[in-house]
Structures are given as C-alpha cells and as structure tokens.
C-alpha cells in the first residue's frame, strides 16, 4: 500500500483496506453517514491527490453477511 497506508490508519471511515493484485491496486471498505461525507472523503483522498489516477465506487444495497472473524 506504500504511501497510502498512513491515511488508511488515520481515517475512521475505512473499515477495511487491502492491497490487491490485478487491474486495481487497493480495495477499501468504507462506512460513511451519507453521500456528503463520501464526497468530502473522495475530494480529500482521491481527487486532490496527484498519485491517484482513477477510482471506482460500488455501493452496497443489501448485506448478505458482514463477518470478518475467522473461527479457530
């Protein structure tokens, strides 16, 4: 995640952050109050940064399961 790991730890909206392989570099799971908060975060972290070429957004419309714990 290189230079992106510091903002990941500082943003409380980031629920999960992953460096991944393939056509994209980073996958973020965000938890936000509304679209205004989303837009402000995009301005701050993506649109105003010269090292971000593009970003894609997907919205959750229904949650089937929300569990990240691994049973041991």
pLDDT digits (tens, 9 = 90+) for 21-33: 998 888 889 999 9
Q: What is the pTM of this model?
A: 0.73
Model pLDDT for residues 1-14, shown as the tens digit of each residue: 556 666 666 788 98
Backbone angles phi, psi at 29, to 5 degrees: -110, 120
43-56: average pLDDT: 80
The answer to whether 14 touches 23, Cβ cutoff 8 Å, is no
pLDDT at 40: 92
pLDDT at 45: 83
List the one residue out of 11, 46, 10 whose CA is nearest residue 30. Answer: 11
Q: What is d(CA 34, CA 54) in angstroms, rounded to the nearest whole number? A: 22
The answer to whether 36 touches 13, Cβ cutoff 8 Å, is no
């Amino acid at each position: 995640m290189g230079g992106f790991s510091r903002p990941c730890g500082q943003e409380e909206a980031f629920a999960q952050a992953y460096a991944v392989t393939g056509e994209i570099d980073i996958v973020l799971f965000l938890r936000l109050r509304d679209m205004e908060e989303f837009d402000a975060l995009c301005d701050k972290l993506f649109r105003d940064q010269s090292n971000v070429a593009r970003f894609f957004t997907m919205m959750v419309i229904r949650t089937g399961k929300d569990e990240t714990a691994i049973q041991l």
